[in-house]
Amino acid sequence: MFRRKGWSLLCSIVLCLGVAGCYVTPEKAAQQRSLKVMYFGDSSFFEDYGDLFLSKYGDVDLVVAVLDQSTLPPEKSYREALDDFIRLEKPDVLYLSADEYARYVQEGLLASLEPYIQADHDELSGMQSSIIDFLKELGGGQLYGLSPTFYNTALYYNADLFKQYGISPPHDNMTWQEILDLAARFPVDGNEQQRIYGLSVPFVQTADDLAARIANTQGLSTVNPKTMQVTLNTDSWKSVWNMAINGAQSSAVYLPETPFYGGSLQDFLDNDLFVQGRVAMKLDDAGFMQVLAGLTQTLPDYKAFQFDTVTGPVDPLDRSSSRDMEVGQIFAIRADTPNLEAAWDFVEYVNSDDYAVIKARVFNSNLLTRTDHYNESRLQAFYKLDPLMVDYSRKAEIPDTFTENFNALISTEMSKAVRKQISLEEALDNVSKTGQALLDEALAKPKNR
């Protein structure tokens, strides 16, 4: 736990040291308000939120309750550990993912923000309406939390390459099939050091990686957590695997042998083919735009190209929404907090225009929910789709040992299908039957976590 006192009290003490007879009265000290905020790290909290909040609310004695996942007891699930943490630490303000937020609303753990919102009708003005609607939907029609930021991906494209090959550029609201078809229109000839690719996706190295990304966009799960049945042998999964296998076989999708996890600037340039001008389209987050802008400023000899963005891939059944959009930085107030006023002051401030104006000077992978403070028009693609709920909580009931073995099985069978050693149907059948046996075996063990 980390505590930082309000700045105004500290400044008063410093000033008083130089003034004879000056001291901090008991009445002044008594005016200090207490506030405990849950976050994943103390230093990162003050960098992201705390220091700015204290610059305005210097009367707050601010404590960070840090939930360190690396220290959680192995015999407990994260869900159980989170419940225990909140019960023991009693943070006034909780930091939640969307599924945690929805669960705690149902359990009556969160205070409604509606009285504060109704008192100031301009409170939500300027915030992304789809995110507010999403939080209200999870709250049964009421707001129980606000998210200052969100995460999303968009499709970057090299406008020069599209112009060079006479191909119409991508547009908003495209499905994976449409994006892969567009990628396949680029030539695949040439040696590995010079040829171009139609598409690259970070951390997608194999056909099964690509299939997992497509499935997430379409809301598909390999296992039904309610029935504990493997659900791969369906028309929807067959379509996903067919897209992924065709993408790998066509050589239109760049599938590196090893992903780039970090290194020097030169290492980055050597590994990212989109940056080199050799990939027509790349799916990435907003932080990548900062990287592209920084290259031209850092490397005078860097050969820049014209690029633009459109929305990331969508589910063909709902082209206006995205499961890749994550509203996972939700601040909510614990219902029985004794520090309700200070808790609301914090939630209100970190979602305010004052906070957004400062944070908008530099953007990263997470974008502000307030929409009026960025000058970069190419960020609009990240705001155009509505978020869709992805419930990860039930997946926690699936044994970890099964997941590891099942993923290895998928990789093996799909690799065979890519090499045309077996048919798509055979691969899906093998994974479904063997996978169900693996799941049944894992569930039969006394302790399957």
pLDDT, tens only, 88-114 = 999 999 999 999 999 999 999 999 999
Look at residue 350 and tell me if it is in a domain: yes
Cα–Cα distance, 389 to 101 (Å, whole number): 11
Q: How many domains does the chain have?
A: 3
Examine the domain organization and report whether 76 and 216 are in the same domain: no
Q: Which domain holds residue 137?
A: 2-151+325-387
What is the reported pLDDT for 301?
Answer: 82
Co-location of 81 and 184 in the same domain:
no
pLDDT digits (tens, 9 = 90+) for 190-205: 888 889 999 999 999 9
pLDDT of res. 74 = 75
pLDDT of residue 78: 86
Token pair 């049964």 is found at 140
Q: 334 and 302: one domain? A: no
Pairwise CA distance, residues 179 & 271, whole Å = 22
Tell me the three-class secondary structure of 169-196, residue by residue: CCCCCCEHHHHHHHHCCCCCCCCCCCCC
Residue 373 and residue 308 in one domain: no
DSSP H/E element including 14: helix 7-16
Q: Are residues 317 and 181 in the same domain?
A: yes
Domain assignment present for residue 21? The answer is: yes
- The answer to whether residue 226 sits within a structural domain is no
Residue from 105, 66, 61, 98 nearest 82 by CA: 66
Same domain, 258 and 361: no
- Final residue of a domain: which of 347, 368, 387? 387
Judge if pTM exceeds 0.85: yes
Tokens 């505590």 map to which residue?
Answer: 3
Q: Where are the alpha helices (DSSP H) in 42-158?
A: 42-45, 51-56, 78-89, 98-106, 114-119, 129-138
Do 307 and 345 lie in one domain? The reply is no
Q: Residue 179 falls within a domain, yes or no?
A: yes
Q: What is the C-alpha separation between 382 and 317, in angstroms, rounded?
A: 20
**Residue stretches of the chain with pLDDT short of 70:** 1-30, 392-396, 447-449
The pLDDT value recorded for residue 6 is: 52
Contact 389, 130 (CB under 8 A): no
Q: DSSP 3-state assignment of 333?
A: strand
Annotate 214-237 with DSSP letters as a single string: HHHHTT--SEETTTTEE--SSHHH
Q: What is the pLDDT of residue 4?
A: 64
Query: In this structure, is residue 43 part of a structural domain?
Result: yes
Closest by CA to 184, choosing from 167, 172, 201, is: 167
Buried b (16+ CB within 10 A) or exposed e, 278-306: bbbbbbbbbebbeebeebeeeeeeeeeee
Inside any domain, residue 228: no
Same domain, 247 and 180: yes
C-alpha dihedral sign at 374, 379, 383, 384: positive
**pLDDT value, residue 23:** 41
| Beta carbons of 118 and 375 less than 8 angstroms apart | no
Rounded Cα gap, residues 101 and 330, in angstroms: 7
pLDDT value of position 372: 87
What pLDDT shows up at residue 259?
Answer: 74
- Judge if 297 and 172 occupy the same domain: yes
Q: 159 and 279 share a domain?
A: yes
CA distance 113 to 146: 9
pLDDT at 5: 57
311 and 163 co-located in one domain: yes
Q: Residues near 99 by Cβ (< 8 Å), separated by ≥ 6?
A: 389, 390, 391, 392, 393
258 in Cβ contact with 215 (< 8 Å): no
Whichever domain contains 337, its CATH number is: 3.40.190.10
